[in-house]
Amino acid sequence: MIPPVQAVEVTSSTREGLLVGGVIDMECGSTTITEERLLRNAFSRPIFRNSHRIAHRSGTNSPAPGGLRVVGIQGSTSEAALRSQSDIGFEYTFIGVPSIGAARNAFSNDQHVDAMVADEVILRSLLRGSAAAEDIRLMDVRLGEECYGFMMRHGDGALVHSVDAALDDVFASPDYLLLRKKWFHDELPGLGFGLEIDPADEMFVS
C-alpha cells in the first residue's frame, strides 16, 4: 500500500534540517549534488544539470571601484561558482543574503544592487514569475555546471532505490521529451509563465 504523500514547503536554509529531523522524507527541489552534501545526505540519480547565471538590468553601468553589486545566497553553490570564475569579464562586489527570496527582493527593490546570481532554473522562474521589469536580462556567462537531484537520508536506502527505479522509468519513457517541454519550456500550470528552456538543451540527462 502506497502511503499518503504530504507536501511540505522548505527553503534552502531549512531543507536539510527538516530532512534530518524527519519532518520530510525527500526534498524535491532544485538542489545541487555536491561532495559536501553527499557526506550528510543521500541523493537520487541526477535529474538535470544546470549552470549558475547572473541577471542584470540592461544598461547597468558598472560603478567604481567594486564593479557590479551582485546579490546571492551567502554560502551557496552560486556564490562559490561566481568566486571561482577567474576571468568573468567585469569587476563585482558580492552581497550575501540568507535566502533566494531575500536575493530576489534585494535585486527588485534595492537601488544599490545591480545584479543577482542563482542557478538558471531558479533565476528564470523568479524573474518570469515576478513583476520584473522588461529590461532584466541574463548575462551570457555561465558559471560552473552541477547535477541536481532529489535529497534523502542516508539511512533510507529502500526509498533511494525506489526513487532511482522510478526515475529510470521516466527517463526511458517515450513521453520524457514531452515532460521536458511541459515543465521547462511551456507555460507552467497556474503560474502564467514558462521557463522557455529548449527541451533539447544539454542540461537534461537520461
| pLDDT tens per residue across span 91-111 | 899 999 998 889 989 998 898
- This prediction has a pTM of 0.71
What pLDDT, on the 0 to 100 scale, is given for residue 98? 92
Residue 113 located in a structural domain: yes
The CATH number linked to 68 is: 3.40.190.10
Residue 128 located in a structural domain: yes
Omega before residue 98 within 30° of 0, cis: no
Where b means 16+ CB within 10 Å and e means fewer, 5-15 reads: eeeeebebebb
Residue 172 located in a structural domain: no
Distance CA 127, CA 137 (A): 9
Containing structural domain, residue 115 = 51-144
Q: Assess whether pLDDT exceeds 90 at residue 25.
A: yes
Distance CA 12, CA 25 (A): 16
Give the torsion through C-alpha atoms of 180, 183, 184, 186, to 10 deg: 110
Number of folded domains that form the chain:
1
What pLDDT, on the 0 to 100 scale, is given for residue 44? 96
Q: pLDDT class for 60, splitting at 50, 70, 90?
A: low
Residue 177 located in a structural domain: no
Mean pLDDT calculated for residue range 68-85: 91
Q: What is the mean pLDDT of the chain?
A: 85
Q: 189 φ, ψ to 5°?
A: -55, 125
Q: Assess whether pLDDT exceeds 80 at residue 195.
A: no
Residue 84 located in a structural domain: yes
Angle between helical axes of 120-128 and 100-109 (0-180°, round to 10): 50
* Cβ atoms < 10 Å from Cβ of 114: 23
Distance CA 35, CA 49 (A): 15
What pLDDT, on the 0 to 100 scale, is given for residue 159? 95
| Residue 180 vs residues 27, 111, 166, 188, 199: alpha-carbon distances, Å | 20, 36, 16, 12, 6
Secondary structure (3-state) at 161: helix
Distance CA 20, CA 39 (A): 13
Secondary structure (3-state) at 75: coil
Give the residue with greater pLDDT, 201 vs 5: 5
Mean pLDDT calculated for residue range 153-181: 93
| pLDDT tens per residue across span 116-164 | 999 888 787 777 765 555 678 888 888 888 888 999 999 999 999 999 9
Residue 86 located in a structural domain: yes
112: its cell numbers: 544599490
Q: Assess whether pLDDT exceeds 70 at residue 42.
A: yes
Q: pLDDT class for 83, splitting at 50, 70, 90?
A: very high
How remote is the C-alpha of 99 from its chain's centroid?
Answer: 12
Distance CA 167, CA 130 (A): 31
Residues facing 92 on adjacent strands:
68
Q: Assess whether pLDDT exceeds 70 at residue 33.
A: yes
Give the residue with greater pLDDT, 43 vs 49: 43
What pLDDT, on the 0 to 100 scale, is given for residue 66? 65
